[in-house]
């Protein structure tokens, strides 16, 4: 019978327990038991800290003493059946065909710039979610998915442009003016927006049927997330330091600037 | 020649290296040649133990298509390879000789079973369903459309797979059968209401493994070590790391034995005990201020017309004239409109009064011929005061719909962050609990002051910024007439101490069945659809929009309810569900009141319900008032029992206690009984949802033998036969059945439906037939299908996520890649609360998830139970709805205000704050209030359900002792899975009662001898176990004795005995209709009970002595 030392020597030399078992003429599980004092099948459930013994594995060991285990997690017949069920439901398909990517209409009755910007963010988030869940070219997206992705991106781009313009015209000047270190905040935001613009331009020229498009969209989503989180902190500060009347006045100007900008974007035909 | 082959041990000893003869030299050849059974196996099939809710992993060893061994799976992060006696005996359970493998049939009035072929039996059952449904069909209740039948009911066990429950609910709902119930009603219904209204979801807030991180664990209402032995290892792990373990229980058990402190208390006094701790925490300013202020509704202001129990001597404002129900409007937040738990008043349970008038009162002339049916069927038995019974308060248990979504909610509540406003929740809370003093705790619970003080100090010391405490409870809390409120009390306490959503914190609702959590998630419960969507009500929900408006919240994730509902309807009715027809919303049968299993039993007695399916459930033993259960079954036209063995619910007509006593005669019983043998967990694939809300897949290891079949098979093929019988019908009534999507792929020689396909339907798909990944992909325009929105993601990417088996050793303690937990694989709920409002962990010692500033997203050890990109500084813009309305500092995302609810303004019907009431039957007069019992508890005055006097009422002294029922390690619920198993029956061979030496002396009870325990319902006998483990308590100045009764026994199986549940009356928690069986009053006498007629005479003599009438116990007070 092999000894603990003889097995540990082989372990140190880099052999696996199945290899050691074969070499020494014992089952791998027995080799493990001799080396570590631990039954490989977990028979005494000793807890995690015993993993520190020489020769002990930090992984599961039951394969060393048990026959092959059966754990199928995919089932082709089920996949085919799901497709069949979906294809046999014209109402489902029609509803999907009519399902647009656009967010629901903006609530226009709030004037507070915090709410106005918050609603814009909500719309952008909705579009980002579409871009995250609709499979792109790199994850097996079908032509219809790619079309929707392109559509969602175009909408997002248009909204962002209008939004950023309005922010530059109204919001950041307000921040500069009214918040301590407002200048720094505005500068940081402008830098973020500048980066986003670069990304938007890159995506615009990318083909939605390529993995490159998906990768750029992912980068954009991440950048927007950080930008929105940053603006959340700015908005929270603004709420504390700027009175409601001023915020509402700014909100009205923001909305005007935004619609002027979106009109101009629409006029130049870029809003796809 | 090896050493072992030398013939004499001594020779081996002197020639070999083992000179001392303590090792190889002493080993015999026989030992040398022994091989484990497992080594001969061809394969190991991964499975999950079918007993309690811990959900231990099992390795099923298979050789030549036979199961040869079952062992624990060391890869499971929950069980780590361990199995308890039951799990270890599951080889015998599944392969033993006690299982039936033939279909059996009992003709009306027959005295014996006969064998009939499986297919014939299934044909017969299909015909019975179609006929009974036709004869009892109801288009309208009064002038409201209900589209249903009350003629058929089902009651399932909680070892059904999720996929099986899904098919049961789907088929029966399409048939218009609404009385679909499950063990989940009897076990943990109050958990759903208690936790759901407090936090937004009705499941345990944490997982078993995380208990190891607790600094203090309070186990109350549970014998954790004996009832969930393998889960208990995490309590021991915590203890090894220095945690203090406190066990609060009437009995000293093996849980107490390894706890640091055992606190004996009077059964049923838990609200007073926990209320006392709340008072301690508030009056010592020991609550976690930052947490409470930010994450709970402590600062919210309540309407000025609200009056507390302090003002009204034990009741809240809004009590109706007859005192049987509350108008909950005044309990609500100031300036806010909320959906109350009962909605508009439910139509009362009028079905009871219809006996003899014919149940069908259809709108269509085609129903006319059945109009007279039912006349003459209802007999006088047991319904002496019909119309009084349940008719006074038949709410449909809407509290349970908060299993995954808070009460509907519109607008922003007013708050006072200084907490000084006299009507803010914090101030109301302080006032409400001010009388729960240590002195009062001592009077009510029998807990000495020093002991109580020790518990308070320990809990407070181990809670706060750097330390966390966990609570674990089981049915010792749930099964009371105020069970929901017991759980609520713990919820309040854990919120005040800042222990929810944090590692080592939380409330673990210990589930006692393999899939009892699953049975409420994918409910076979009358009042719920999958994912806690409420069943529609006749008078309120005429169309889909009215339903959504009435039930959904504008804010939080419950705001997307329409998407969840439409997707469910698409899963049920596929191409037939279109926007034009409201997605077949009209196909759903409507509720008009409560149809819980107990009310169904009364409907059986009254002749309304004529056909009954028992799917792995044994109510003749397991439900309260067993005699009423059996008498009700004797009124049925037909009964289908599916189980492993001939359980008491299958054979009561030939050998039940009422046959013995002469109350029933086999030849007189007209009930047709079908027995179908069931397949075991090793003979079918499917998923169980354990107490961690974790779906764990088990694979079929071998096909079932003989006529044994899974419930998946049974429901699917029954559905096919029913659909074939109805094929070609032009009757509108049959459209939901014929239009139902019912085309699952089958496999194998027995045509077993593929459980994976059912799981895929539960998960849902898009229009391209791709499995959905998460519930935020569900749409309300009919472009997605999903059978249970909270399980959406379990089949993401076409991978059965519940089948994932990455070993626990190879990942963190939460085991995120071991199977899949709802929601969205999050293991600790509300974990946003593990970080402070700014998103930083409260303490380095207690990190779980946090806001990553650089990446601008939530990250951590668990999947954040929060929108990942939502920053801590996010404030919803005005008018935001749905998830957008939840701010970055609101961890309770299913609640309309994102807060943990100390005070429940809507969602419960028996009070916004837990209040101590005495059990329905108690020898103690409520020391806290003039109000003895919950005024709105559900009571039923029937001849078969007499109540006893309580407190100071004359006659109360006839039943002077408090009794409680409980579970043993070696047996399982009503015994169907243990009393037929030789190993387990040998380990616990006989029914017994636990009494203290003092009580034994007082009553002359002898250890090992017999005792008779008597209530107004029955007299049962048990062996006497005299033990110090059950201590007499000093309650309100006098000595009070308690009697412990394990409830597993019945008259069949290898281990036989009387049923403790026969002693009980049916008294229900009004929120969820769970029975009170953990505290009631009894008398106990030495000796065996009388047999035959004399048994009833004894009970009747007790009733006379106590002066019991149909009014007793029905008082509002």
Interatomic CA distance for residues B55 and B697, integer angstroms = 10
| pLDDT for position B367 | 29
Domain membership of residue A151 (yes or no) is: yes
Residue A10: domain span: 4-65
Residues 6+ apart with CB under 8 A from B40: B63, B68
Domain membership of residue A80 (yes or no) is: no
- A123 in the same domain as A45: no
CB contact under 8 A, A69 and B744: no
In B1066-1115, beta strands by DSSP E? 1067-1068, 1080-1086
B82 CB within 8 Å of a chain A CB: yes
Is A242's pLDDT higher than 50?
yes
Closest CA to B223 of B1081, B964, B1088: B964
Give the relative orientation of helices B162-175 and B711-726 as an angle to the nearest 10 degrees: 20
| pLDDT for position A47 | 61
Strands B1067-1068 and B938-939: antiparallel
In degrees, rounded to 5, the angle at the alpha carbon of residue B936 between the alpha carbons of residues B1042 and B483 is 45
The side-by-side arrangement of strands in the sheet containing B469-473 is: B261-263, B244-248, B216-220, B469-473, B507-509
- A51 in the same domain as A112: no
B89 close to B986: Cβ distance less than 8 angstroms: no
Quick one: how far is CA B447 from the chain centroid?
Answer: 29
CB contact under 8 A, A118 and B699: no
Q: For residue B1022, give the H/E element and its range.
A: strand B1019-1026
CB contact under 8 A, B74 and A69: no
Q: Whole-angstrom distance between the N-terminal and C-terminal Cα of chain A?
A: 77
When CB atoms are compared, the residue of B578, B799, B871 closest to A91 is B578
Tally A–B CB contacts below 8 A.
219
CB contact under 8 A, B873 and A69: no
- A127 in the same domain as A195: yes
Chain mean pLDDT for chain A: 91
pLDDT < 70 positions in chain B? 1-7, 337-398, 406-411
Stated pTM of the model: 0.93
- A177 in the same domain as A117: yes
CB contact under 8 A, B871 and A229: yes
Q: Which of A43, A65, A87 is the last residue of a domain?
A: A65
Interatomic CA distance for residues B730 and B753, integer angstroms = 29
A77: which chain B residues are within 8 Å (Cβ-Cβ)? 745, 747, 754, 757
Interatomic CA distance for residues B474 and B821, integer angstroms = 20
Residues 6+ apart with CB under 8 A from B919: B267, B268, B480, B481, B933, B1067, B1076, B1079, B1080
Interatomic CA distance for residues B263 and B268, integer angstroms = 14
- A29 in the same domain as A148: no
- A108 in the same domain as A206: yes
Predicted confidence (pLDDT) per residue in B123-162, tens digit? 999 999 999 999 999 999 988 999 999 999 999 999 999 9
Instruction: Give me B1046's structure tokens.
Output: 């394990």
Domain membership of residue A250 (yes or no) is: yes
Domain total for chain A? 2
In B602-707, beta strands by DSSP E? 611-615, 638-643, 672-677, 686-689, 694-698
B888 CB within 8 Å of a chain A CB: yes
What is the three-class DSSP state of A5?
helix
Domain membership of residue A72 (yes or no) is: no
| pLDDT for position B382 | 32
B215 close to B504: Cβ distance less than 8 angstroms: yes
Any bridge partners for residue B994, and if so which?
B1025, B1044
| pLDDT for position B890 | 97
Q: Which of A42, A65, A88 is the last residue of a domain?
A: A65
Predicted confidence (pLDDT) per residue in B756-772, tens digit? 999 999 999 999 999 99
Closest residue on chain B to A77 (Cα): B745
Sign of the CA dihedral running B325, B327, B330, B332: positive
A59: which chain B residues are within 8 Å (Cβ-Cβ)? 807, 809-810
A37 close to A53: Cβ distance less than 8 angstroms: yes
| pLDDT for position B124 | 98
B811 close to B818: Cβ distance less than 8 angstroms: yes
* pLDDT interval class at A46 (50, 70, 90): low
Instruction: Give me B1017's structure tokens.
Output: 């319902």
Task: Mutation target for B interface from A109, A144, A232, A238: give the one with most B CBs within 10 A.
Answer: A232
Strands B961-966 and B244-248: unpaired
Interatomic CA distance for residues B1080 and B283, integer angstroms = 33
DSSP letters, B239-265, are HHTT-EEEEE-SB--HHHHTSSEEE--
- A115 in the same domain as A44: no
Domain membership of residue A187 (yes or no) is: yes
- A113 in the same domain as A28: no
CB contact under 8 A, B782 and A51: no
CB contact under 8 A, A225 and B856: yes
| pLDDT for position A198 | 93
DSSP letters, A153-177, are HHHHHHHHHHHHHHIIIIIHHHHHH
Q: For residue A150, give the H/E element and its range.
A: helix A143-166
When CB atoms are compared, the residue of B74, B80, B575 closest to A90 is B575
Interatomic CA distance for residues B283 and B304, integer angstroms = 24
Quick one: how far is CA B770 from the chain centroid?
Answer: 33
- If 0-12 CB within 10 Å is exposed, 13-18 middle and 19+ buried, where does residue B191 land? buried
Q: Which of A49, A65, A81 is the last residue of a domain?
A: A65
- A129 in the same domain as A41: no
- A245 in the same domain as A182: yes
Domain membership of residue A74 (yes or no) is: no
Closest CA to B787 of B575, B577, B567, B573: B567
Instruction: Give me A140's structure tokens.
Output: 């097996």
Predicted confidence (pLDDT) per residue in B417-440, tens digit? 999 999 999 999 999 999 999 999
B871 CB within 8 Å of a chain A CB: yes
B615 close to B642: Cβ distance less than 8 angstroms: yes
A52: which chain B residues are within 8 Å (Cβ-Cβ)? none
Interatomic CA distance for residues B1086 and B997, integer angstroms = 14
- A222 in the same domain as A145: yes
Interatomic CA distance for residues B156 and B153, integer angstroms = 10
Domain membership of residue A191 (yes or no) is: yes
**CATH for A182:** 1.20.120.520
Domain membership of residue A76 (yes or no) is: no
Most distant CA atoms of chain A, gap in Å:
88
- A256 in the same domain as A150: yes
Residues comprising chain A, all counted:
272
Interatomic CA distance for residues B425 and B374, integer angstroms = 52
B754 CB within 8 Å of a chain A CB: yes
Residues 6+ apart with CB under 8 A from A135: A141, A142, A145, B770
Radius of gyration, alpha carbons of chain A: 30
């Amino acid at each position: 019978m092999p000894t603990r030392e003889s097995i540990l020597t082989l372990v140190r030399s880099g052999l696996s327990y199945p290899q050691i078992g074969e070499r020494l003429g014992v089952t791998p599980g027995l080799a493990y038991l001799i080396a570590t004092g631990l039954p490989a099948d977990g028979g005494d459930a000793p807890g995690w800290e015993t993993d520190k013994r020489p020769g002990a594995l930090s992984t599961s060991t039951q394969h060393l003493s048990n026959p092959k285990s059966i754990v199928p997690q995919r089932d082709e017949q089920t996949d085919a059946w799901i497709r069949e069920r979906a294809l046999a439901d014209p109402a489902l398909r029609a509803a999907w065909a009519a399902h647009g990517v656009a967010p629901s209409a903006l609530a226009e009755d709030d004037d507070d710039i915090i709410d106005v910007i918050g609603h814009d963010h909500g719309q952008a988030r909705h579009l980002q979610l579409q871009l995250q869940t609709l499979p792109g070219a790199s994850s097996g997206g079908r032509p219809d998915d790619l079309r929707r992705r392109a559509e969602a991106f175009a909408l997002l781009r248009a909204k962002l442009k209008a939004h950023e313009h309005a922010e530059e015209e109204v919001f950041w000047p307000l921040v500069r003016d009214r918040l301590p270190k407002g200048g720094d905040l505005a500068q940081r935001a402008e830098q973020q927006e500048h980066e986003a613009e670069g990304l938007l331009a890159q995506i615009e020229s990318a083909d939605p049927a390529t993995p490159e498009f998906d990768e750029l969209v992912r980068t954009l989503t991440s950048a927007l997330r950080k930008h929105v989180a940053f603006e959340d902190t700015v908005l929270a500060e603004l709420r504390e330091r700027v009175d409601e009347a001023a915020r509402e006045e700014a909100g009205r100007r923001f909305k005007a600037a935004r619609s002027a900008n979106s009109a101009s974007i629409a006029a130049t035909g870029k809003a796809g | 020649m090896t050493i072992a082959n030398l013939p004499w041990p001594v020779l081996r000893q002197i020639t070999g290296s083992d000179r001392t003869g303590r090792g190889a030299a002493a080993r015999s050849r026989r030992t040398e040649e022994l091989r484990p059974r497992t080594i001969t196996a061809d394969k190991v099939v991964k499975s999950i133990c079918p007993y309690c809710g811990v959900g231990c992993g099992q390795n099923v060893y298979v050789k030549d298509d036979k199961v040869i061994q079952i062992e624990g799976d060391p890869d499971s992060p929950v069980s780590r390879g361990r199995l308890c006696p039951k799990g270890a005996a599951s080889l015998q359970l599944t392969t033993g000789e006690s299982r039936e493998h033939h279909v059996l049939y009992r003709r009306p009035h027959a005295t014996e079973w006969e064998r009939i072929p499986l297919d014939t039996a299934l044909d017969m059952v299909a015909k019975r369903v179609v006929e009974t449904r036709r004869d009892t069909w109801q288009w309208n209740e009064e002038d409201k459309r209900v589209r249903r039948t009350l003629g058929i009911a089902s009651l399932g066990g909680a070892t059904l797979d999720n996929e099986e429950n899904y098919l049961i609910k789907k088929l029966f709902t399409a048939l218009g059968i609404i009385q679909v119930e499950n063990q989940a009603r009897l076990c943990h219904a109050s958990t759903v209401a208690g936790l759901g209204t407090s936090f937004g979801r009705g499941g345990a807030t944490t997982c078993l493994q995380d208990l190891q991180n607790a600094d203090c664990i309070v186990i109350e209402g549970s014998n954790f070590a004996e009832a969930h032995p393998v889960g208990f290892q995490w309590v021991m792990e915590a203890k090894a790391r220095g945690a203090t373990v406190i066990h609060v229980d009437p009995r000293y058990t093996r849980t107490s034995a390894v706890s640091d402190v055992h606190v004996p208390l009077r059964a049923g006094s838990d609200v007073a005990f926990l209320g006392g701790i709340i008072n301690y925490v508030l009056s010592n300013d020991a609550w976690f201020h930052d947490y409470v202020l930010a994450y709970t509704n402590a600062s919210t202001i309540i309407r000025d017309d609200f009056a507390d129990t302090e003002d009204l001597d034990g009741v809240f404002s809004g009590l109706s004239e007859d005192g049987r129900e509350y108008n909950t409007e005044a309990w609500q937040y100031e300036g806010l409109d909320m959906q109350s738990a009962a909605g508009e008043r439910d139509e009362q349970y009028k079905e009871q009064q219809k006996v003899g008038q014919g149940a069908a009162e259809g709108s269509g002339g085609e129903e006319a011929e059945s109009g007279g049916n039912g006349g003459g069927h209802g007999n006088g038995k047991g319904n002496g005061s019909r119309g009084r019974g349940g008719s006074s308060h038949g709410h449909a248990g809407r509290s349970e719909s908060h299993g995954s979504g808070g009460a509907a909610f519109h607008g922003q509540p007013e708050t006072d962050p200084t907490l000084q406003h006299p009507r803010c929740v914090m101030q109301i809370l302080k006032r409400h609990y001010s009388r729960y003093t240590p002195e009062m705790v001592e009077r009510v619970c029998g807990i000495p002051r020093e002991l109580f003080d020790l518990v308070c100090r320990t809990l407070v010391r181990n809670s706060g910024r750097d330390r966390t405490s966990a609570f674990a409870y089981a049915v010792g809390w749930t099964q009371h007439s105020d069970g929901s409120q017991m759980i609520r009390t713990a919820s309040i306490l854990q919120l005040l101490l800042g222990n929810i959503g944090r590692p080592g914190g939380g409330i673990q609702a210990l589930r006692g069945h393999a899939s009892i959590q699953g049975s409420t998630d994918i409910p076979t419960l009358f009042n719920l659809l999958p994912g806690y969507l409420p069943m529609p009500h006749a008078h309120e929900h005429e169309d889909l929009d009215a339903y959504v408006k009435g039930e959904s919240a504008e804010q939080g994730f419950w705001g997307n309810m329409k998407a969840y509902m439409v997707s469910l309807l698409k899963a049920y009715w596929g191409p037939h569900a279109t926007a034009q027809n409201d997605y077949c919303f009209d196909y759903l049968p409507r509720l008009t009141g409560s149809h819980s299993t107990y009310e169904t039993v009364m409907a059986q007695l009254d002749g309304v319900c004529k056909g009954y399916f028992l799917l792995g459930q044994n109510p003749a033993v397991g439900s309260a008032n067993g005699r009423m259960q059996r008498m009700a079954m004797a009124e049925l036209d037909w009964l289908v029992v599916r189980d492993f063995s001939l359980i008491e619910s299958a054979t009561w007509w030939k050998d039940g206690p009422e046959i013995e006593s002469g109350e029933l005669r086999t030849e007189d019983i007209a009930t047709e009984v079908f027995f179908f043998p069931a397949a075991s967990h090793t003979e079918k694939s499917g998923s169980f949802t354990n107490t961690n809300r974790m779906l764990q897949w088990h694979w079929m290891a071998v096909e079932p033998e003989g006529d044994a079949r899974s419930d998946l098979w049974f429901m699917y093929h029954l559905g096919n036969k029913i659909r074939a019988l109805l094929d070609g019908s032009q009757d509108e009534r049959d459209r939901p059945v014929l239009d139902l999507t019912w085309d699952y792929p089958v496999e194998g020689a027995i045509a077993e439906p593929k459980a994976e396909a059912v799981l895929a339907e539960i998960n849902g798909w898009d229009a391209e037939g791709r499995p959905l990944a998460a519930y935020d992909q569900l749409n309300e325009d009919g472009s997605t299908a999903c059978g249970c929105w909270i399980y959406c993601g379990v089949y993401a990417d076409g991978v059965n996520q519940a089948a994932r088996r990455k070993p626990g050793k190879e990942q963190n303690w939460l085991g995120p890649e071991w199977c899949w937990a709802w929601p969205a694989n999050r293991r600790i709920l509300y974990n946003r609360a593990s970080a402070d409002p700014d998103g930083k962990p409260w303490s380095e010692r207690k990190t779980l998830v946090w806001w990553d500033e650089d990446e601008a997203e939530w990250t951590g050890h668990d999947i954040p139970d929060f929108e990942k990109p939502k920053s801590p500084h996010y404030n919803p813009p005005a008018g935001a709805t749905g998830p957008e309305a939840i701010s970055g500092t609101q961890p309770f995302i299913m609640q309309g205000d994102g807060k943990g609810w100390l005070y429940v303004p809507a969602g419960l019907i028996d009070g916004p704050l837990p209040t101590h009431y005495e059990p329905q039957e108690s020898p103690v007069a409520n020391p806290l209030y003039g109000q003895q019992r919950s005024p709105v508890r559900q009571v039923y005055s029937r001849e078969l359900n007499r109540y006893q006097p309580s407190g100071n009422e004359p006659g109360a002294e006839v039943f002077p002792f408090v009794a409680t029922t409980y579970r043993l390690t070696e047996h399982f619920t009503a015994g169907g899975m243990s009393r037929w198993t030789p190993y387990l029956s040998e380990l616990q061979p006989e029914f017994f009662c636990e009494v203290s030496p003092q009580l034994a002396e007082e009553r002359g009870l002898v250890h090992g001898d017999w005792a008779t325990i008597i209530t107004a319902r029955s007299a049962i006998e048990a062996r006497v176990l005299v033990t110090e483990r059950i201590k007499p308590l000093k309650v309100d100045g006098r000595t009070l004795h308690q009697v412990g009764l394990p409830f597993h026994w019945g008259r069949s199986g290898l281990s036989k005995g009387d049923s403790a549940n026969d002693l009980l009356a049916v008294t229900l928690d009004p929120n969820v209709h769970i029975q009170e069986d953990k505290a009631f009053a009894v008398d106990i006498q030495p000796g065996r009970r009388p047999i035959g007629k004399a048994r009833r005479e004894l009970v009747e003599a007790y009733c006379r002595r106590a002066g019991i009438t149909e009014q007793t116990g029905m008082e509002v007070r």
